């Protein structure tokens, strides 16, 4: 379904002022959509890693596409909550970038069998975060 803008009127100043803690103010130079993108990344990652995946401190997560917007957010949140992070990336520059963000292991999926690499490094993972579209083979890479 394509995006359809809301037909509701914007909140009046009195309503907006009461909900100020829920407002993301934007700078004059930014577009209207940019400020909304950051919370959307965090909401998406939180829901998938912690609510659906039930990731806990001491567990491990495999994050596909670690250099993407959702991927970088997932790396940071997973590390902040004490998880070991594995991620797949396309090239060595992206691998360096995700390691700088806190990923414990960056696997070049074009050059390696990423599932075998994860198994070799850890024996498996507890949660797999895959936010891209299309088909992806899902080998048994979960911890026992």
The tens digit of pLDDT for each residue in 97-130 reads 999 999 999 999 888 888 889 889 988 899 888 8
We report the CATH number of the domain holding residue 82 as: 3.40.50.720
Instruction: Please give the Cα distance from 131 to 65 (Å, whole number).
Output: 8
Q: In the chain, which residue ranges form alpha helices assigned H by DSSP?
A: 13-18, 34-45, 69-80, 92-101, 114-122
User: Tokens 């829920």 appear where?
Assistant: 22
Total domains, the chain: 1
Instruction: Supply the angle between the helices 69-80 and 34-45 in degrees, to the nearest 10.
Output: 50
Cβ neighbours of 103 (radius 10 Å): 27
Cβ neighbours of 38 (radius 10 Å): 12
Q: Residue 46 sits in which domain range? A: 32-129
Q: What is the pLDDT of residue 73?
A: 93
Q: What is the pLDDT of residue 18?
A: 46
Query: Is 119 contained in some domain?
Result: yes
- Over 60: is that where the pLDDT of 132 sits? yes
Q: Is the pTM of this model over 0.75?
A: no
Query: Is 136 contained in some domain?
Result: no
């Amino acid at each position: 379904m394509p995006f359809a803008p809301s037909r509701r009127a914007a909140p009046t100043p009195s309503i907006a002022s009461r909900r100020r803690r829920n407002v993301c103010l934007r700078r004059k130079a930014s577009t209207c959509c940019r400020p909304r993108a950051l919370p959307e990344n965090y909401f998406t990652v939180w829901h998938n890693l912690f609510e659906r995946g039930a990731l806990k401190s001491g567990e491990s997560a495999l994050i596909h596409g670690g250099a993407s917007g959702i991927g970088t957010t997932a790396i940071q949140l997973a590390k902040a909550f004490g998880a070991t992070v594995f991620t797949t990336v396309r090239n060595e520059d992206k691998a360096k970038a995700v390691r700088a963000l806190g990923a414990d292991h960056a696997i070049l999926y074009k050059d390696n069998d990423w599932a075998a690499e994860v198994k070799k490094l850890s024996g498996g993972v507890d949660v797999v975060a895959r936010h891209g579209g299309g088909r992806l083979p899902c080998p048994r890479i979960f911890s026992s």
